[in-house]
Amino acid sequence: MAVWSETNVIEVSQKKRIDSEFFHPEYISAENIVNSVNKISCLGLLGQFIIGPFGSAFHVSNYDSNSPYRYIRGKDVKPFQLKNDDNVYMPTKDYERLRNYSICENDLIISVVGTLGNVAIIPRNEKGIFSCKSTLFRNSSIDPHYLLAYLNSKYGQMCLLRRQRGAVQTGLNKDDLKTVPVAVFSNKHQKYVGNLIRNALALKVESQALYFEAQQILEHELGLDKLTFEKPVGYETRFMDIAAANRLDAQHYRAKYDIIINKIKETKWAFIRDISLYNRRGVQPVYVSKGEIDVINSQHICKQHLDYENFQKTSLAQFKSAPEAHVQINDLLIYTTGAYIGNTNVYLSTKPALASNHVNIFRLKGEIDAAYLAVVMQSEIGKFQTEKHARGSAQAELYPADINKFIIPLLPVRLQQKIGDLARRSLALKDESHQLLEKAKTRVEQLIEQAAEKA
């Protein structure tokens, strides 16, 4: 159904915009509602903008994992907070050279190229710079956590996205960002919303700490924290091993893989094929924007937990037609194609869900704790074996038959449960954090709508 709106020459002249998208009815309606609030300001009057460095200011080949200075890429900027499971760091000399672009606590960072309008806040003790795909907003006249909630709310997002420019490559420029209207409420309301955000972000940090504790316990119990991996000039293997593996690629036989496998074999262990009830990939789903059933694809498998909040959807009919791809509680879901193969999360919901064709479903038998096994798969045990058994050059693949060859340490049930419980508690805190963020957004939207009704 066609959607159109009308404007006049005066408004076109004032706004200096002739693109029809700027005058889309949804954008106009949202901005009119915001502008009806009793006290309105704009971002340009509330603080200052700092755009990221352009050109070859810093080259990705210079990443330095030993540096304390983070390089924030465009893809790291997510709603409310920075993505924190794939960080990259820059050499100190580059940080010093580019320190005019250094981040500060409570700065807001806005994605302005690619995925537009994501707004995150810089946490305490984070040091580094940001790329040209983001713009920094620094202010002292309004609670930054309230402003974070506003800009991530329905109305804040509409006002931000209305200002995008470009056709093939859309973007948000500084001058347009300055004009974004901001509904300014009393200090009491700002503090209430800001506290919800602060509590949510604190819970997220606690969630990550619990998962890290689970990993540390696993590594300590298996002695992985004491292993060292040398980098030999070359390495050898036997013909019988080549014949058994049916692999000629040298990477499959790296010495470091034997080190960790031999360490696992010092304790009780099993092949995945011997502890699995089910091991296969999902199916290519037909996505339905307002479908009843969740679809889990590879982008939802993260470093610690599934991205439950952003599952896509399909229809009940599609779900019923593909029982082989049904996901059950305590299933392990493995990322099998692309850059992050081997990432594994446990599904801890009772809601029906469907796995996509690049997600491997692994279902356990026996008394093995599924959350414990997810932590194992995310440790060096899983990462090294993923490297060993992955196939392909341009596009890495991990097939069910190769997953069957993984060996898994079977710690005593008591320790498995301790590690698994930490992972489950971590997810519970992550969920609680998400609920508080949603509550903060909802409260901002309610305040705006209530003010608009009175206007």
Q: What is the pLDDT of residue 2?
A: 47
Task: Give the 3-state secondary structure of residue 109.
Answer: strand
CA dihedral angle for residue 279, residue 280, residue 281, residue 282, rounded to 10 degrees: -90
Question: H/E/C letters for each residue in 178-242?
Answer: CCCEEECCCHHHHHHHHHHHHHHHHHHHHHHHHHHHHHHHHHHHHCHHHCCCCCCCCCCCCHHHH
Tell me if 399 sits within 8 A of 371, measured CB to CB.
Answer: no
| Phi, then psi, of 128 in degrees rounded to 5 | 155, -165
Question: Which pairs with CB-CB distance under 8 Å and at least 24 residues apart come from 437-443?
Answer: 437/80, 437/149, 437/152, 437/196, 437/197, 437/200, 439/196, 440/149, 440/193, 440/196, 440/197, 440/200, 441/149, 441/152, 441/153, 441/154, 443/149, 443/192, 443/193, 443/196
Sequence-ordered list of residues with C-beta below 8 angstroms from that of 423, at least 6 positions apart, any chain: 210, 211, 214, 304, 346, 371, 372, 374, 375
Whole-angstrom Cα distance, residue 337 to residue 329?
23
- Domain 9-184 matches domain 207-419 at the CATH topology level: yes
How many Å apart are CA 28 and CA 161, to the nearest integer? 11
Three-state secondary structure call for residue 58: coil
| pTM, full prediction | 0.86
Residue 285's Cβ-side half-sphere holds a number of Cα atoms within 13 Å equal to 32
Q: C-alpha dihedral over 356, 420, 383, 201, to 10 degrees?
A: 80
- List strands edge to edge, sheet with 47-51: 47-51, 134-139, 108-111, 119-121, 80-81
Identify which of 169, 168, 133 has the alpha carbon closest to the alpha carbon of residue 60: 133
Please tell me the distance from the alpha carbon of residue 240 to that of residue 389, in angstroms, as a whole number.
17
Q: Domain ranges for the chain, please list them.
A: 9-184, 207-419
Distance CA 128, CA 250 (A): 38
Q: Is 272 helix (H, G, I), strand (E, B) or coil?
A: helix
CA pseudo-torsion sign 295, 300, 301, 306: negative
The size of the chain, in residues, is 455
Measure the CA–CA gap between 409 and 425, rounded to whole angstroms.
22
pLDDT of residue 65: 85
Q: Which residues are CB-contacts of 351 (< 8 A; sequence separation ≥ 6)? A: 294
Say yes or no: domain 207-419 is CATH 3.90.220.20: yes
Q: Residue 331 is encoded by which pair of tokens?
A: 């299933």
CB 5 within 8 A of CB 23: yes
Q: Does domain 9-184 have CATH number 3.40.50.150?
A: no
Cβ proximity of 128 and 102 under 8 Å: yes
Each residue's pLDDT, cut to its tens digit, for the chain (455 residues) gives: 445 555 555 555 445 555 667 778 898 999 999 999 989 999 999 999 999 887 656 666 678 888 999 999 999 999 999 988 889 999 999 899 998 999 999 999 999 998 899 999 999 999 999 998 999 999 878 999 999 999 999 999 999 999 999 877 889 999 999 999 999 999 999 999 999 999 999 999 999 999 999 999 999 999 988 876 666 655 566 656 555 555 656 566 566 778 888 899 999 999 999 999 999 999 999 999 889 999 999 999 999 999 999 999 999 999 999 999 999 999 999 999 988 899 999 999 999 999 999 999 999 988 899 999 999 999 999 999 998 888 887 788 999 999 999 999 999 999 999 999 999 999 999 999 999 999 999 999 999 999 998 87
What pLDDT shows up at residue 184? 95
